[in-house]
Structure 1
Amino acid sequence: MRDLLIRLDGTGPIQQQVYGGIYAALEDGRLALGQRLPASRTWALQLGVSRNTIREATAALIAEGWLETRVGAGLFVRAIPAPVSSPANSAAAPLRLSEWSERLPVSTFVLARKDVDVDFRPGVVSNDAEQLFRRKRLARWPSDLEPAALSEYGPPEGDIRLRERIAAYLRQSRAVRCTAADIVITTGTHQSLDLLSRLLLGAGTTFAIEDPGFPVVAEIMRLSGSELASLQVDDQGINVDDIPPGIAGLYCTPNHQFPLGVTLSPQRRKALIARAAKEGFVIIEDDYDCEFYYGTMPSPCLQSEDENQRVIYLGSLSKTLAPGFRLGFIVAPPWLLDRLKCAKWIVDRQTSTHVQNSLLQFIVSGDFASHLSSMRLEYEKRHTALLEAIRERLHTWLTPLSSTCGLHISTRVNDGFDTNALCRIADEEGVGIYRGDTFSCHGRASDILVFGFGGTSTQQIMKGVGLLAAAWQGEDQAVRLT
């Protein structure tokens, strides 16, 4: 019974002590309903008592209905006593949590899943991407490359071989100015933002965010004690003139704004970089899904235009491979790098060596490049199908915003139509579309509807748009503003 931590407390008859120990194990969950108990000989040896003592104690528990004997099988738990709550000690000192804990939101942002036949949920990747990755990552390691040992700790910034590969990829695909030494591997964008908020912000600081935007950014930055300044987004991205003076930093998605999908205009890009240099704030650039572009390549990242080390570049594998892979990275300017590596070591030690090994194998084998090419073709088909379907069948109600990359398309509800009615009817028809103001701190973008296509096949796209067109046409008066 040592594995159940049943102890004889030395008070009262031995039989009663054994009975009390078993009953306590039933009450606090150490013994589960239906669990088989050890033989009386085993119990007697473990507790140093006679087998008769064990039999008498368990006989009482059987009589009370807690245990039962099954012929040829042994003794089993039949029922569990209801837990007895202990009254609070009014004299006990109150427990206090930190100010950080008090800043935690009542509930964290999770985009609610819809019980629908066709779901245009943003932020989802294709099942094809996951299955392709699962198959190809099982390939043998190249003969000239050995996986990092799982029995040892690695550097907090990540395996140098993986960082070299990521740096080469970023230089080629996104024009990022970096070497392996500038990169810190994280467990994804959430951790990247958390580390940066700890290093850059605190009480008395102000941090600017896009609105609408990625809601988790606001939650993380608010936890640091920083005040938030929300910047409205239009068809050219954030308006640089609206940035308040004295901010410590700013988060943006310049090449595919989330959720509107627009690109920060060249004039505003230059103005943003110039203001950051002049006023001394940092820009956190999240380049979250620009690997997938359709037609012309997206603009180089904002970091590539920065001459004053103001831009911190974030990336992840959530869209390229799958959200559950949990690997991201920060490209940090030299003035931040040492503190960032130290922070990563303190709060997380290192990103999983197994995950790093898997990605390194995937890249070196050539499977990453072929995977990216395959998924780019697949997502381009979906992007084209969705865009054409919206323009051809939903143009009465919606106008798509300009977007040439990423895994979602946003649309503006045309004048004269009721966004609430359009969404209500879509839900009734079993089609999941998502409102732009879901991602806003101040209810902005209430006339925006977001269509994610990463997890929606071409066939499902056509079915969903067809259902919307028929339903909205049939409810013409209901979807119009009165």
Structure 2
Amino acid sequence: MELHVVINGRKDLAGQLYKQLRGAIESGRLAAGMQLPPTRLLAEQLGISRKTISDIYAQLTYENFLIGRVGKGTYVNARPSKFLRKQTASDLACAETVNAWRSLHSPLPDPSLEGTVRRDFVGGATSKGQFPHDEWRRCTQYALRQMQKSVGFYSHPEGLPALRSAIAQHIAFCRGVICQDSDVVVCNGTQQALDVISRVVLEKGSIVAVEDPGYPPARLLFASQGATVVGVPVDKEGLRVDLIPDQTRLIYVTPAHQFPLGMPMSHERRLALLQRAEELGAIIIEDDYDSEFRYEGLPTDSLQSLDERGLVAFVGTFSKTMLPELRLGYAVLPPAISEAVMKAKQFTDWHTSTLPQWALAKFMTDGELQKHIRRCHSIYAGRRERILSRLNGDLSPWLEAIHTTAGFHIAALFKHPIDLKLLIELARKVEVGLYSIEGFFYQETPRSGLLMGFGSIETLDIDPAMDRLRDLLLQMDER
């Protein structure tokens, strides 16, 4: 690898090289410990005599910028870098926009920053111990072979045909979604699907209706694009359709497993939502984030399968069924916006990485995804039953579970006022991770409760964790 040095003309070659090397070291571009090219190689690169290079190295070594190591070469010496003052946000013409982005609240906790606890009820996370690593490794090797056969150019913005076909078949089988391969666009997770759809549908000031409480990253994404986001309350049947404002362009819902409360949207409410969207000329985004895991009752149709007017964009993810690190999701687009969204995806991302796409297509067509979902379903069902048993048993004086039929989290509301912040702090001290639902409320008055995820906590850890929660609640009552 060549060292980046630019020589202008043939005058004062030694002076030019000296200034550039010293400046690169002082600025930190050449970091401490980095090895410089041997004098012979640098001389060939720059067309300068080797003696001139040796003299410059010697001078910089004398000035303590470089250090020679016998038999190894010449290295940048450790010394403080001299940085020029950089522009601050207030110096820029875009200061207002930069500060607006900086002021946005990060909606979900990062476990790697907060630190992990042994018994963690974090929502939206899965255990890597359940993931079929051997099968995925085999599919990844297949993906590498497929990439080796390609011409080495950019791929399809909408996703590989093999994966789009596998997704279309999977969601038709599992969720009753009515679609063709051409309706599917592969994205880097659900968040990118929301981004490209909203880029096409919204403009500054457009009204977006979201569930309240609801999923903060979606709400903040719509707001960041200049939309006016309106929180619409939910009840036991889901989103209050009668409260969706006039002039709404986009409606974001989680009908299969309302986030975060968990209740499914009733069939009558779904039909009313479709009718209201048709009246408004609005697009509905149906976020079907974890409905593969259903534990009771008859299967419910996806909202998209009831849509006869082409108003619903069905959005899904593999972060919940597989691993969040894969960052693979998809959208099934209504015909009216399909071509525009495909172009938005190309302009912002070009295409999703083909290696995981090939691997996932193989994983799905070989039946490994369905096997994995069945294994996880059995485990999650047991964990859910254990949590509900405790919430309806010795924890019932304090908490009431909201009835839910799918997913891998349960919301439980406190029956009496409690210092929830203190409870969460005390729980972490005894190695139990608890999470409040209050931060998911937007314009509605927050309700006090816990979001109890059971995707990553081990089954044998649930009872000890619930014991500690009960003991803490008893102690707080005594105080």
TM-score normalised by structure 2 residue count: 0.89
Contact 1:119 1:431 in 2 (8 A): yes
* Matches of 1:141 and 1:87, distance apart in 2: 43
* Matches of 2:76 and 2:45, distance apart in 1: 20
TM-superposed CA distance for 1:99, in Å, is 8.4
* Matches of 1:323 and 1:348, distance apart in 2: 19
Amino acid paired to 2:199: R
Mapping of residues 195-274 of structure 1, within 5 Å: 195-274=196-275
Alpha-carbon spacing, 1:8–1:125, altered in 2? closer, same or farther (3 Å): same
Corresponding position of 2:77? 78
* Matches of 1:477 and 1:50, distance apart in 2: 84
Q: Give the secondary-structure state (helix, strand or coil) at the position aligned to 2:166.
A: helix
Corresponding position of 2:108? 110
Alpha-carbon spacing, 1:97–1:463, altered in 2? closer, same or farther (3 Å): same
Contact 1:120 1:451 in 2 (8 A): yes
Contact 1:437 1:443 in 2 (8 A): no
* Matches of 1:447 and 1:275, distance apart in 2: 31
Superposition RMSD in Å:
2.7
- The more displaced of 222-231 and 284-293 is 222-231
Amino acid paired to 2:420: T
TM-superposed CA distance for 1:161, in Å, is 3.0
Q: Give the secondary-structure state (helix, strand or coil) at the position aligned to 1:393.
A: coil
1:100-147 CA-partner distances (Å, limit 9, x unpaired):
7675352443324343332111111121243x1x3112336999xx94
Q: Give the secondary-structure state (helix, strand or coil) at the position aligned to 1:475.
A: helix
Contact 1:409 1:450 in 2 (8 A): yes
TM-superposed CA distance for 1:291, in Å, is 0.4
* Matches of 1:22 and 1:428, distance apart in 2: 52
Corresponding position of 2:164? 163
Corresponding position of 2:3? 3
Amino acid paired to 1:447: S
Contact 1:429 1:468 in 2 (8 A): no
* Matches of 2:83 and 2:278, distance apart in 1: 63
Alpha-carbon spacing, 1:8–1:43, altered in 2? closer, same or farther (3 Å): farther
Alpha-carbon spacing, 1:307–1:477, altered in 2? closer, same or farther (3 Å): same
Corresponding position of 1:350? 351
Q: Give the secondary-structure state (helix, strand or coil) at the position aligned to 1:372.
A: helix
Contact 1:129 1:322 in 2 (8 A): no
Corresponding position of 1:307? 308
Amino acid paired to 1:196: I
Corresponding position of 1:276? 277
Contact 1:185 1:329 in 2 (8 A): yes
Q: Give the secondary-structure state (helix, strand or coil) at the position aligned to 1:213.
A: coil
TM-superposed CA distance for 1:467, in Å, is 1.1
1:46-98 CA-partner distances (Å, limit 9, x unpaired):
4444444334333332222222222333322222353142698xxxxx75349
Higher helix proportion (structure 1 or 2): 2
Mapping of residues 6-155 of structure 1, within 5 Å: 7=7, 15-85=14-84, 95-97=92-94, 104=101, 106-107=103-104, 108-113=106-111, 114-115=114-115, 116-130=117-131, 132=132, 134-139=133-138, 147=146, 149-150=149-150, 151-155=152-156
TM-superposed CA distance for 1:298, in Å, is 4.2
- The more displaced of 353-362 and 66-75 is 66-75
Alpha-carbon spacing, 1:101–1:182, altered in 2? closer, same or farther (3 Å): farther
Contact 1:408 1:451 in 2 (8 A): yes
Q: Give the secondary-structure state (helix, strand or coil) at the position aligned to 2:55.
A: helix
Corresponding position of 1:91? none
1:21-58 CA-partner distances (Å, limit 9, x unpaired):
32122123342212233333334444444444334333
Structure 1: 5+ residue runs without aligned partners? 89-93
* Matches of 2:352 and 2:456, distance apart in 1: 27
TM-superposed CA distance for 1:214, in Å, is 0.9
Alpha-carbon spacing, 1:401–1:87, altered in 2? closer, same or farther (3 Å): closer
Alpha-carbon spacing, 1:100–1:55, altered in 2? closer, same or farther (3 Å): closer
1:254-298 CA-partner distances (Å, limit 9, x unpaired):
110111111112332222122112232221110100001113354
* Matches of 2:213 and 2:375, distance apart in 1: 31
* Matches of 1:141 and 1:237, distance apart in 2: 40
TM-score normalised by structure 1 residue count: 0.89
TM-superposed CA distance for 1:246, in Å, is 1.6
Would you say how many aligned residue pairs link Structure 1 and Structure 2?
A: 468
* Matches of 1:53 and 1:173, distance apart in 2: 72
**Given the alignment of the two structures, is residue 472 of structure 1 paired with residue 473 of structure 2, yes or no?**
yes
1:218-244 CA-partner distances (Å, limit 9, x unpaired):
121112221111112233322122211
* Matches of 2:289 and 2:92, distance apart in 1: 41
TM-superposed CA distance for 1:11, in Å, is 6.2
Structure 2: 5+ residue runs without aligned partners? none
Identity of aligned residues (%): 33
**Given the alignment of the two structures, is residue 379 of structure 1 paired with residue 380 of structure 2, yes or no?**
yes
Corresponding position of 1:427? 428
Contact 1:260 1:401 in 2 (8 A): yes
Q: Give the secondary-structure state (helix, strand or coil) at the position aligned to 1:195.
A: helix
Corresponding position of 1:295? 296
Alpha-carbon spacing, 1:54–1:310, altered in 2? closer, same or farther (3 Å): closer
